[in-house]
Amino acid sequence: MTISVIPASNNLQKGYTMGVNMKTGKANLKYDRMLDLYMRLSDGEIINKEDAAKEYQVDCRSIQRDIDALRNFFSNQTVSRGEIAEIVYDREKKGYRLEFAKKIRLTNAELFTVVKLLLESRSLDSSEMKPLIGKLLDACVPPSEKKKMTELVNNELFHYTGPHHKRILVDKIWELSEAMYAHRKLDMRYRRLDGVETQKTVKPVGLMASEYYFYLAGFEKDCDKDHAGYPTIYRIDRIESCRVLNETFSIPYKDRIEEGEFRKKMPFMFSGPLTRVEFIYRGMDINTVLDRLPSAEYKKREDGTYLVKTEVYGIYGISMWLGSQGDKVEVLAGIGDRKVNKE
């Protein structure tokens, strides 16, 4: 048997930096020093680089490398443990400190709810939905809980059926959102419901999701003569090609839309002027109306029915919905001032 003795100098060649802590008088290897810095930062201490260099009897570059290495460590912990911890430089106190933020990992209950919402939406092709769910589980579930969570969603994930258009949408949605954020026009080729393809220049102003599909809201042409005062709605899976132009746009203040408020008044994703609709609802549960028409207001009448008033963009979608309610609905105003026939 041959026993090799490694000289102490080899340790230095491998990256161990010897120093002496002036407070304790003890020799410190690089990793001892880093652990000491870690503990001090975790305790809320401010680390001044020059003072630390003197204390550990090393140069300032060594302390800076230690701090950079600890930064990387805390960054990795954010990904794996979900807690944001960052080493920041405090200019006022002229030193580094550890700053904690809230946990970013979802609880099991929150994650399961998000996964169920995604699966029930059926808005993405399985080739996008399944990897997305997998990434959520990997990022948010502790190893001890992963088996249980995976078993809870696996059956539904296995039988998941996406929309029949089979389009890949995630990257396209993000591209459209970036164009909308930068106020840049789009040159896009769009396939209508009847199969006819048209070339359009569009000013994107909103992105929405509703009942299996994603939609883009945008104004056409310079003056939007075809749809003055309200945007046109495009199903994103029907956008055959799209090019973000360098040309920017601005929307007149009177035509600007608040996406959340706009979405409440467009529950059926059909374009059209803003129309006020009034009707009597004779059903048992008024909440089914309020959930379908988020902008609706109602008043219960003496006979137990409800007077409902709402504003919606476009008349076609709400006409179909009211018609589907049969004798539960009597239209008073907004749709030809006549009762909508369920046929």
Which among 265, 253, 262, 251 has a CA at the least distance from the CA of 204?
251
Q: Tally the residues of the chain.
A: 343
User: In this predicted structure, what is the pLDDT of residue 27?
Assistant: 40
Average pLDDT for consecutive 10-residue bins of the chain (343 residues)? 37 40 54 87 89 90 90 70 75 86 72 92 94 86 82 90 94 94 94 93 90 91 56 93 93 65 82 89 93 92 94 88 91 63 36
Between CA 264 and CA 195 the distance in angstroms is 29
320 membership: H or E segment, kind and range: helix 316-324
Place of tokens 């959340």: 260
Q: Which of 93, 119, 116 is nearest to 106 (CA)?
A: 116
Place of tokens 């919402």: 117
pTM of the model: 0.65
With residues binned 3-state (H G I as helix, E B as strand, rest as coil), the percentages for the chain, rounded to 5, are 40, 25, 35
Between CA 11 and CA 59 the distance in angstroms is 18
Strand pairing class (329-333; 232-235): unpaired
Sign of CA dihedral 43, 47, 51, 52: positive
The residue whose two tokens read 């809870």 is 152
pLDDT for res 308: 95
Secondary structure class of 30 (helix, strand, coil): helix
Give the distance, in angstroms, between the CA of residue 14 and the centroid of all CA atoms in the same chain. Answer: 45
The predicted pLDDT at position 304 comes to 92
| pLDDT at residue number 116 | 93
Tokens 């960052």, located at residue: 86
Structural tokens at position 265:
């008044």
